[in-house]
Amino acid sequence: MLNLERLRTLDALARHGSVSGAAEGLHITTSAVSQQMSKLEREVGQQLLARNGRGVRLTDAGRLLAEHAARILSQVELAQSDLEAQRGQVAGELRVSAFPTAARGLFPVALADLREGHPALRVRSRELEPEAGVRGVVRGDLDLAVVLDWYNKPMSLPNGLVKALLLDDPADVALPAGHRLAGREEVDLAEFAEDEWITWGEGEFCHEWLMFTLRSKGIEPIVGHRAAESHTQLSLVAAGLGVCIAPVLGRNPLPDGVVTVPLRQRLRRHVHVVWRADADRRPSIRAAVRALRAAGERVGATGGSGEPSTTRAAAAVS
């Protein structure tokens, strides 16, 4: 009889590609991963791992069993979802992530509502960039992830994931208060051809989106500074070091010396929540999605700052 936890370890090895990655994803030690794999090899009577330099790789038998393990674990998830749905109880543990401005703008409201409405549910949250959040859901390290894409650059999702739109988040340009365009009612991206941009890290989805968007307008971006966190970017703007894109969600309060001006192009990013399709019937998943949608509607109704806004959260699963 194959041991489920050892199959889970094999699946993590196949997904992460290393013993250390599997250990991190499973929240166990590397020696525990090695022990589980040794026991699984004895159970099946075949070598599942082979040395590959300083690491390991799956043998043909290991890859074959890993494919079966992924299907078995998916069926177990479905069985657990069906049992939870039959009980109808929102209980247990839920692991969620969000990119920083969503964690700041949505999680305080949504997670507080979940705690009040479902005291038997324990939620564990963390900040992760969208790509890392999606990987965590695919691997099973997370149950839900709040992610984003942009109006002109959608994010592709792996098969087996479901998503729901929480809100459309408008984005302005943040300028130093003394900038030549600071007093305008709206601006065009082309007017920043000579400005230094403060952007996200190299290779990050939002950085690649900004480069793509500026170049599509005939602007070769001048990147002066990089910062992963939006408030760090805004602090650099306040120091007069450049301009940045400033989405509304989680933006306020603005630092002194920074003003925001709407763009004529009306830039928007789409904020989604994603989860695994095989967990769709879990009451805890459904409760969390409802709470996040309600938080999105609240943020959309106030523009994230207490002022009325035309932004509204969508309620359809796409």
Give CA–CA dist 11/294, Å, rounded: 35
Residue 47 has a CB neighbour count (10 Å cut-off) of: 12
88-126 b/e with 16+ CB inside 10 Å = b?
A: eebeeebbbbbbbbbbbbbbebbbebbeeebeebebebe
User: Is the confidence at residue 271, as pLDDT, over 90?
Assistant: yes
Tell which wins on pLDDT, 168 or 12: 168
Handedness of CA 225, 229, 233, 236 (dihedral sign): negative
Tokens of 102: 């969503």
Q: Which of 26-40, 168-182, 299-313 has maximum average pLDDT?
A: 168-182
Handedness of CA 250, 253, 258, 261 (dihedral sign): positive
- Do 187 and 160 form a contact (C-beta atoms < 8 A)? no
Local structure of residue 13 (DSSP, 8 states): H
Tokens of 47: 């070598």
| 195-248 per-position pLDDT tens digit | 999 999 888 889 999 999 999 988 999 999 999 888 999 999 999 999 999 999
Tell me the pLDDT of the chain averaged across its residues: 86
pLDDT at 82: 66
User: Is the confidence at residue 287, as pLDDT, over 50?
Assistant: yes
pTM of the model: 0.71
